Amino acid sequence: MRRRGAYRILQTHHAFFIDDSPLSSILVKLTILHAAKMLQDFYPKKIFPRKALFSEEDFWEDEQLKFRDWRVVRRRELMFQESNSTKIQMEIQECQAQPQPQNWPWSLEESNILIENISYYQRMIETIERAKSLGPVKLPKAPKRKVQDLFKEKLGKKKKQTITTPEELHTFLMSRKADLSKTISRQKFSFNIEGDPVKQLQEAYKHLGRHNAQGMLFNILFGDFLNALRDWFISAKVNTTWDTWLSTQIDISIPHARKLRQLSNLLKGFQGFLNINVSINDILSKQELIKQMLAIDQFATFWRQVDIIPADDELTPSQEV
């Protein structure tokens, strides 16, 4: 009866494997292995506990249901593996179909990049082979000049621009200055898609920039106040820590309070930063470069200049971009 039950599972699902594809062949083997596992589980030493819950017929019916669910999951996994394998083969064939120049005109520097990366990947393969028997090992150091960047450059794909010099940073920050002499209107964010979408886009973005710049103004001034308040706290010799005292007075995270104080210390005396549309994190991530920029007299003079930031009742209503 036990063998008949296992055979019935094979017979019931035989229609599932009607083609000669590699996937079908693998699934047939999996089915046989699964049926063999069930026979092993149903040997006398394991049958008695099951008898309390299942009749022999119910046992095989239950196993059929388990197998059906298991088969669906395994089939999806195998189909995914096969589709990936097919995709890789197609990519290889596509590359092979493209014209392959005998001698690509690499420059000497580019050739060195290729050689460095070839050496790196060869050592990486050898290292992984050793790891198969030895376990985790130290990986080889990757080359500073990556072959991916070289290929992207050759294919005309521009690398993401990064600010690396004081001059570039100065130019960028100047472009982010906002006019805080004009109001910020919430009405500009009541959008109507039936109107002029470009005009709405430009006006809203202008007001958003002023809002962000005003946030930078508040952050710097509040950071100034926190620094002064901390000096007072130290001189008052309060019987607790600064972090504990501050968190009991206002609902502020200690890391954020530190960022505000750090921002104030970094930009102290340079009031030209009070109206820039840049986030705190962006500024603090460029601390060293900002210090280099402000060490240059020309840039330091510019950023010490105070832009006109009128009081609330002196703001000019802004209806235009």
Tell me the C-alpha distance between 56 and 37, whole Å. 16
Mean pLDDT confidence for 217-238? 93
Band of pLDDT at residue 7, cut at 50, 70 and 90: very low
Largest Cα span, the chain: 95
Neighbours of 237 (CB within 10 A): 6
Mean pLDDT confidence for 144-159? 81
Q: Is 297 a residue whose pLDDT tops 60?
A: yes
On whether the CB atoms of residues 9 and 35 are closer than 8 A, the answer is yes
Tell me the C-alpha distance between 127 and 120, whole Å. 10
Q: Give the residue ranges of DSSP H helices in 179-279.
A: 197-236, 242-249, 254-267
pTM of the model as a whole: 0.49
Residue 175's alpha-carbon distances to 250, 277, 296, 320, in angstroms, are: 35, 9, 19, 19
Q: Is 250 a residue whose pLDDT tops 90?
A: yes
Tell me the C-alpha distance between 304 and 301, whole Å. 5
The residue with greater pLDDT, 17 or 113, is 113
Mean pLDDT confidence for 72-97? 60
Band of pLDDT at residue 208, cut at 50, 70 and 90: confident
On whether the CB atoms of residues 189 and 203 are closer than 8 A, the answer is no
On whether the CB atoms of residues 130 and 137 are closer than 8 A, the answer is yes
Q: Which residues sit opposite 177 in a β-bridge?
A: 276
| Mean pLDDT of the residues in the chain | 77
Q: What pLDDT was estimated at residue 287?
A: 92
Q: Is 15 a residue whose pLDDT tops 50?
A: no
